[in-house]
């Protein structure tokens, strides 16, 4: 399932790109959320279809795409968009850096041009059968 771009919004948070740190990271290094903003904490989105089955078995990119679609829906239901994200954590059940990069590329491209601070982790296992990708997020809305 292709990722759906975020609706345009005026973000509540300010993303910070430090000129004193390397520009190799494809995201802001920090985010500042003003007082009065409402925080939305999204549980880890998973690559599950409407029946609860894992999609894209063995395919990191397909799982990342479905995960992002599910995250988009979760955020929408809470009144937020991808443009409101202030932090993401991307989990990939793999020791292969290529798998981590593949998942990250889908996440990055889905969020573009928004580039909130993010952490990318390789982990031993995730909660559902055949699950390779999970993304949790925090958003700030006015």
Residue 14, number of CB atoms within 10 A of its CB: 13
At residue 1, the pLDDT reads: 42
Convert the pLDDT of each residue in 21-63 to its tens digit: 998 888 899 999 999 999 999 999 999 999 999 999 999 999 9
User: CA-to-CA distance for 112 and 90, rounded, in angstroms?
Assistant: 16
């Amino acid at each position: 399932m292709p990722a759906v771009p975020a609706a345009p919004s005026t973000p509540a948070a300010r993303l910070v790109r430090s000129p004193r740190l390397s520009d190799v990271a494809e995201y802001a290094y920090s985010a500042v959320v003003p007082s009065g903003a409402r925080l939305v904490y999204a549980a880890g989105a998973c690559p599950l279809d409407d029946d609860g089955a894992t999609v894209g078995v063995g395919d990191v990119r397909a799982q990342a795409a479905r995960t992002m679609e599910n995250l988009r829906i979760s955020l929408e239901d809470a009144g937020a968009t991808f443009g409101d994200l202030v932090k993401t954590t991307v989990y990939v059940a793999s020791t292969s850096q290529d798998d981590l990069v593949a998942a990250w590329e889908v996440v990055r491209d889905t969020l573009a041009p928004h580039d909130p601070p993010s952490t990318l982790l390789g982990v031993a296992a995730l909660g559902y059968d055949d699950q390779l990708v999970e993304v949790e997020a925090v958003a700030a809305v006015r």
